[in-house]
């Protein structure tokens, strides 16, 4: 089971070009749109409910809260999927949030799975690269981080398959446009309720719906290693990234004009624009050779 659409559009939410949806009326409109969309997608798929992988961060908390509003607490399942010791605080926070929402919450330790992967796959493929890994630790961190993200999605989809649920992704528009997610990891889901909202708007919506301030104010991180942050990896905080992306992608400005409008150096702007362009493959279906007229629309068969 699955959904045709990955994100909900907000064309009627009252936003204007060059601005974010942060005013109370606009936030209430997109809240209603997202809630209606979750309910429609789940019902159209004939699913019994939804699964949300919860990290204790703002995106998964907002996604879970809106899912409860759409479906009811009895139809939403939260999963806590820690792998490293540093993640246990976040999972504990996620459990507290789940209890407050009245949803079922299951915690699964992924460390044994990662160790088994290390012993079988990594040992077979990287027998002679131990010294190389020591010289380039972040490459190893990225590779392991991607494995963990994919293990999490395996757990989410196993649960969804067994319980006839849909997997709700938690990515926002800022992450999506920069490719700041793992392909077939957190980049795999049946629908992305926050997928059209920039991080700036997610924070505003979180505050509007009553997400605790301690979660809203957390430093965003993918948790690939200790002290890793989104701003450190991307080269700028979301307060800079969001207005730049909005001008580049939504308004069609040049890098030069967008950088000047946001007030950042052109090198940073070029780096972020490059990320957006180079990660396009992560946002698209895998291509086919294009034989004859057999395009991807043929897969959208309808019995009606």
Higher pLDDT, 294 or 239: 239
Please state the domain extents for the chain: 24-232, 235-284
What pLDDT digit, counting tens, does each position of 76-106 carry? 999 999 998 878 889 999 999 999 999 999 9
pLDDT at 122 over 80: yes
Q: Is it true that domain 24-232 has CATH number 3.40.50.620?
A: yes
How confident is the model at residue 222, as a pLDDT? 73
Higher pLDDT, 210 or 302: 210
How confident is the model at residue 221, as a pLDDT? 78
Q: What is the band of 157 on the pLDDT scale with cuts at 50, 70, 90?
A: very high
How confident is the model at residue 12, as a pLDDT? 44
pLDDT at 196 over 80: yes
Asked whether the whole model's pTM tops 0.85, one would answer: yes
pLDDT (average), residues 40-48: 98
Mean pLDDT computed over every residue of the chain: 88
Q: What is the band of 299 on the pLDDT scale with cuts at 50, 70, 90?
A: low
What pLDDT digit, counting tens, does each position of 179-194 carry? 999 999 999 999 999 9
pLDDT at 3 over 50: no
What pLDDT digit, counting tens, does each position of 239-263 carry? 999 999 999 999 999 999 999 999 9
pLDDT at 126 over 90: no
Three-state SS sequence of the chain = CCCCCCECCCCCCCCCCCCCCCCHHHHHHHHHHHHHHHHHHHHHCCCCEEEEECCCCHHHHHHHHHHHHHHCHHHEEEEECCCCHHHHHHHHHHHHHHHHHCCEEEECCCHHHHHHHHHHHHHHHCCCCHHHHHHCHHHHHHHHHHHHHHHHHHHHHHHHHHHCEEEECCCCHHHHHHCCCCCCCCCCCCEECCCCCCHHHHHHHHHHCCCCHHHHCCCCCCCCCCCCCHHHHHCCCHHHHHHHHHHHHHCCCCHHHHHHHHCCCHHHHHHHHHHHHHCHHHHCCCCCCCCCCCCHHHHCCCCC
């Amino acid at each position: 089971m699955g959904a045709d659409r990955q994100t909900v559009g907000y064309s009627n939410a009252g936003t204007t070009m060059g601005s974010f949806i942060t005013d109370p009326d606009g936030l209430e409109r997109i809240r209603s749109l997202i809630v209606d969309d979750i309910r429609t997608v789940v019902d159209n798929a004939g699913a019994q409910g939804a699964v949300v992988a919860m990290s204790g961060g703002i995106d998964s908390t907002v996604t879970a809260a809106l899912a409860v509003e759409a479906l009811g607490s009895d139809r939403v399942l939260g999963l806590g999927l820690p792998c490293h010791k540093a993640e246990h605080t976040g999972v504990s926070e996620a459990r507290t949030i789940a209890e407050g929402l009245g949803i079922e919450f299951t915690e699964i330790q992924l460390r044994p799975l990662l160790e088994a992967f290390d012993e079988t796959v990594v040992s077979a493929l990287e027998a002679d690269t131990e010294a190389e890994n020591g010289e380039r630790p972040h490459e190893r961190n990225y590779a392991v981080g991607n494995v963990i993200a994919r293990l999490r999605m395996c757990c989410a989809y196993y649960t969804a398959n067994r319980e006839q649920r849909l997997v709700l992704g938690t990515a926002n528009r800022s992450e999506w446009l920069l490719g700041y997610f793992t392909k077939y990891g957190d980049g795999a889901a049946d629908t992305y309720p926050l997928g059209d909202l920039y991080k700036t708007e997610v924070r505003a919506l979180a505050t509007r719906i009553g997400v605790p301030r301690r979660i809203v104010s957390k430093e965003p991180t993918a948790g690939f290693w200790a002290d890793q942050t989104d701003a450190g990896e991307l080269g700028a905080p979301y307060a800079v990234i969001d207005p730049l992306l909005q001008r580049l992608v939504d308004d069609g400005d040049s890098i030069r004009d967008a950088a000047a409008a946001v007030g950042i150096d052109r090198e940073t702007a070029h780096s972020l624009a490059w990320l957006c362009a180079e990660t396009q493959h992560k946002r698209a279906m895998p291509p086919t050779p294009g034989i004859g007229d057999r395009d991807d629309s043929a897969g959208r068969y309808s019995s009606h």
